[in-house]
Structure 1
Amino acid sequence: MPDAAAIPHTSSSGGDSEGKSTSADKSSRSRKLKHDVIEAVNELIQDIGTCHEQIAEQAV
């Protein structure tokens, strides 16, 4: 039983140092992805607005 407790502890200790750099990388990638998604959504909103204006002009 003590061996089983020691193995996860050692594993989690090694994982913590790697986890910190990995979480920093994930955080950086998440920020970039979030920025890219927001930019794409804003472009889509502009495109929809342009289409709406064109349709309104044709309807008159």
Structure 2
Amino acid sequence: MIVFIINALVEQSCAVRRISADFDACPDNLSTDDLKRYFASLIESHSWSTVKLDRNGLHKHL
């Protein structure tokens, strides 16, 4: 159970770091259009599993 929690936290922090680096801004300050552009770009450049992990990770923070 502990390993699952640690993995979830690592995945969430990766998602926050990735989108923060992409926009050079706090994810809390991004608009819906920013998020749509980000995920459209992510779909083109990363695997579907990464897209899902980022979506789920950011959902917890936004």
Normalising by structure 1, we get a TM-score of 0.39
Normalising by structure 2, we get a TM-score of 0.38
Higher RCO (CA-CA < 8 Å; seq separation 6+): 2
* Larger Rg computed on CA atoms: 1
Relative to its length, the structure with more helix (as a share) is: 1
